[in-house]
Amino acid sequence: MSLMFTPDELADLRREVLGLLPDTAVIERAAGTVDSSTGAWADVYAPAGTVVCRIDPIPLAMVGARAIIAGQETARAWFQLSVPWDADIRANDRVTIGDVTFEIIQLHTDHSMRIVRRVVLSKLEH
């Protein structure tokens, strides 16, 4: 059985879920530039927006000690980011929460009711 919501009920659910997103994320988007000294192409990330969010670890029990996520075998720590359903977040963006920057591993764009958008993240190693 599938639950059907009216547009007003869905809007209410989306407003209510905002209270479950306790953190703030800065979405950073790449802008290509050429290094004037070397002529090499480089991506420079700049803030593209700020959204409320929730970040949760993905337990190893869910993915195994060595996991394959987005076609990559890894032993890195993975996180699930939840943001408002209409957040402008893209597959090649980065996300900073507090003083930690994450890369997007997988952006889930198709799921039931679209109350939130979900993203699989991994910490960027500097």
| Mean pLDDT of the residues in the chain | 85
Domain count, the chain: 1
Model pLDDT, residue 66: 54
Assess if residue 116 is contained within a domain.
yes
* 83 has a pLDDT exceeding 60: yes
- The Cα–Cα gap between 83 and 72 comes to 24
CATH assignment at residue 108:
2.40.10.270
Q: Let me know if residue 61 belongs to a domain.
A: yes
Domain holding 52, by residue range, is 7-29+42-123
Q: What pLDDT digit, counting tens, does each position of 20-59 carry?
A: 999 999 999 998 777 778 878 888 899 999 999 999 999 8
Q: Is the pLDDT of residue 77 over 90?
A: no
